[in-house]
Amino acid sequence: MSTGNYYYIKTPNDLISVISLWSSRGSSLDPKGKEGLSHFFEHLFLNKTATMPNKIAALRKIDGAGLFFNAYTRKNSVYYYFIQRAQDQEEAYKILIQGLREFDVEEKDIYREREVIFNEQNQHVSNPAAYVWSLADKGLWRDSPLSGSGLGTKSSLSSITMEDILRYKEFLFAKENIGFLTISSLKVSPGLVQELVQLTTADESSPMSSGDYVNAGGSNKIICEYRPMDAVFLALSFPLPGLASLVKDKLVLDFIRNYLASGWSSRLIERLRLEKNYTYWVYGGIESFREAGYFRVSLSTQKKNIAEVVGIVVEEIEKLQQELLDSAQLLHHKNAMKAHLLKHYIQPENMLWWYGWNIFLAKRIITIGDYLDSIDTISSSEVLAAAQKYLSVNNLHIAALGSIREADLHASPRL
């Protein structure tokens, strides 16, 4: 159900409600030289308001009301959400409305939150399994707006001013950019829905630009960052087109991702963990932004195994491009994909991302149940065609983090 920019998804789970505020802006639209602005504002919103000027008191009020609050900045979106019992969801919306009406920030808040984000940057860099994905984005898109982690740099964060924050609020919450989503067994009262829709800013009088667009700086097929570690973290990526071109094929690519790197019987986990003992796990991911996207698998392994690991990944992809899956294989991996999706999307945050991404970015309403049913329609010929179309080995990009240099990868006869 939708009313203007408000959407309601009914769920049979009468215990949990998720309410959220979405903007279809994100870190890829941060102005040049102000990278990290979207994420910076995320940290400041709802920390305090004009009538609740103390940050600690404001956050205590949220906890004390039985509400869980969090927010995320992604490349194409920013969203703020509350998780609570269904009967408490209107209290969560009242706090959200107060934040929209009474957003308040002082210079001292900007200084303090900048220090917090510096620590968040350090934490991100210190997590090699997460950081290698940012490194892979840098390899795919080099100096374009998509290449960063969204956290910005110490230099760009230091340049962000009070004026930037206040202008960004108007940009982020412009009516054409914003939406509200409730996932619950209970509807929100009609009066509250109308209040939410009317609160969005109608006039985007000073739009902010993002500078150069995607791939202005090209890409690096191999990108390495040296660190003295026992393991090497790898991310193998294939660039994908933008969302509008990809959305019709995303189902089949999701199937391929699960076929290669998901459960115990996915091909790369069978071969690289169960048969070879080369890694703990292989992770797969697909991201589709307005501008571009990627298909990716990642893992950690010993340096001596890298050439063979990459060779096995390429071999499995080439099999998909050359041979049709038989009916037994297709059915097996469809069932495994359903189990993976159910396990993943039963979590409230993941369910929120599913519906928010589809509604506000892909511009479609599709339930998780409908998507599970659509898996049955995938054919072997569609899998082969998608692998040929999107996963050309000539477009393979490799990011490596650990005791390895680019010269090591270039020198390998398998790469």
Q: Which residues contact 195 (CB under 8 A, 6 or more apart)?
A: 97
**Position 273 pLDDT exceeds 50:** yes
**What is the tens place of the pLDDT at every residue in 71-129?**
999 999 999 999 999 999 999 999 998 888 888 899 999 999 999 999 999 999 999 99
Percent of the chain with pLDDT over 90: 69
3-class DSSP state of 273:
helix
Could you list the beta-strand ranges (E) of 289-390: 293-302
**Position 353 pLDDT exceeds 80:** yes
**Position 294 pLDDT exceeds 80:** yes
Which tokens hold the place of 122?
């350090």
pLDDT score at 14: 78
What is the band of 309 on the pLDDT scale with cuts at 50, 70, 90?
Answer: very high
Q: What's the CA gap between 306 and 406, in Å, rounded?
A: 13
Residue 242 burial (C-beta neighbours within 10 Å; 0-12, 13-18, 19+):
middle
pLDDT score at 215: 52
pLDDT score at 54: 83
The mean per-residue pLDDT over the stretch 270-284 comes to 97
pLDDT score at 411: 67
Say if residues 235 and 132 touch (Cβ distance below 8 Å).
yes
Q: What's the CA gap between 386 and 90, in Å, rounded?
A: 44
pTM of the complete model beyond 0.85: yes
pLDDT score at 124: 95
**Position 412 pLDDT exceeds 90:** no
Q: What's the CA gap between 172 and 207, in Å, rounded?
A: 10
pLDDT score at 217: 58
For residues 315 and 217, the model is more confident at 315
Q: Which of 27-36, 189-198, 299-308, 322-331 has the lowest mean pLDDT?
A: 189-198
27-to-147, 160, 367 alpha-carbon distances in Å = 10, 14, 27
**Position 252 pLDDT exceeds 90:** yes
**Position 407 pLDDT exceeds 50:** yes
Which tokens hold the place of 180?
């509200």
139-to-7, 76, 102, 238, 415 alpha-carbon distances in Å = 37, 19, 41, 11, 16
> Which residue has 């193998």 as its token pair?
236
pLDDT score at 278: 97
Long-range contacts of 61-70 (CB under 8 A, 24+ apart): 61/95, 62/95, 65/91, 65/92, 65/95, 67/91, 67/92, 67/95, 69/95, 70/349
What is the band of 413 on the pLDDT scale with cuts at 50, 70, 90?
Answer: low
**CA-angle at 225, arms to 220 and 228, nearest 5°:** 160
The per-residue b/e assignment along 111-134, b for 16 or more CB within 10 angstroms, e otherwise, is eebbeebeeebeeeeeebbebbbb
**Position 63 pLDDT exceeds 80:** yes
What is the band of 316 on the pLDDT scale with cuts at 50, 70, 90?
Answer: very high
**What is the tens place of the pLDDT at every residue in 199-232?**
765 544 444 444 334 455 578 899 999 999 999 9
What is the band of 145 on the pLDDT scale with cuts at 50, 70, 90?
Answer: confident
Mean pLDDT of the chain: 90
The secondary structure of 130-154, three-state, reads: HHHHHHHHHHHHCCCCCCCCCCCCH
**Position 317 pLDDT exceeds 50:** yes
pLDDT score at 298: 98
pLDDT score at 415: 60
The mean per-residue pLDDT over the stretch 322-337 comes to 97
Strands 6-10 and 178-184: parallel
Question: Within 13 A of 5's CA, how many CA atoms are on the CB side?
Answer: 23
